[in-house]
Amino acid sequence: MIEALIKLLDDAGIRYCVIGGQAVNYYAEPLVSLDLDLVVATEKLDEAETLLAEHFEVRRFPHSMNITPEQSDLRVQIQTDPRYGDFVERARPGEVLGIPMSVADKRDLLRGKVWAAGDSSRRASKRQKDLVDIARLIEGDPALETLVPPEIMRRIES
């Protein structure tokens, strides 16, 4: 379960934060999502992988690790792209899925969503979801719009 995964990270002193749709849900009107996306402090990434592999199935990909908790429909992905590494430093305590967790700062979250929406190697459906998440963040805090490149704003407004 997710509680066990978060407790493992917390007990081991491995700093992390929630990114992705669940983090957007923290700042905006929630939408249903079966994904939990995390970033782990860069210097603790190998330690986190070893620890989690003792308890869950862990599959490594070029820019992520997928963690499969037993008896859960939720999919957990740890982002390993180094651009996300400093998100952990600015994260704040929050509650996601009813569990106390560290949540990425909304400016960092927006930055990550802009990167994802502009990544042409991602599936079109994923990029559309990223645009929706950007729009949701802006609806919750209109000042964030100044941080979104004009070409992304045009795609949101069209």
CATH architecture of 2-157: 2-Layer Sandwich (3.30)
Return the amino acid letter for 84.
Y
One DSSP character per residue, the chain reads: -HHHHHHHHHHTT--EEEEHHHHHHHHSS-----EEEEEE-GGGHHHHHHHHHTTSEEEEETTEEEEE-TT---EEEEE--GGGGGGGGG-EEEEETTEEEEE--HHHHHHHHHHHHT-TTS-HHHHHHHHHHHHHHHHH-GGGGGGS-HHHHHHHH-
Would you say 41 and 90 are in contact if contact means Cβ atoms under 8 Å apart? no
Residue 135 confidence (pLDDT): 97
Residue 131 confidence (pLDDT): 96
Short-list 123, 147, 125, CA closest to 134: 147
Task: Please give the C-alpha separations between residue 12 and each of 18, 47, 100, in angstroms, as whole numbers.
Answer: 17, 9, 16
Distance CA 149, CA 54 (A): 42
Tokens of 136: 């949701």
Distance CA 29, CA 45 (A): 31
Domain boundaries, the chain: 2-157
Residue 71 confidence (pLDDT): 74
Tokens of 83: 């651009």
Q: What is the pTM of this model?
A: 0.90
Residue 69 confidence (pLDDT): 74
Per-residue pLDDT of the chain (158 residues; tens, 9 = 90+): 788 999 999 999 999 999 999 999 999 988 888 889 999 999 999 999 999 999 999 999 988 999 987 777 778 999 999 999 999 999 999 999 999 999 999 999 999 999 999 999 999 999 999 999 999 999 999 999 999 999 999 999 87
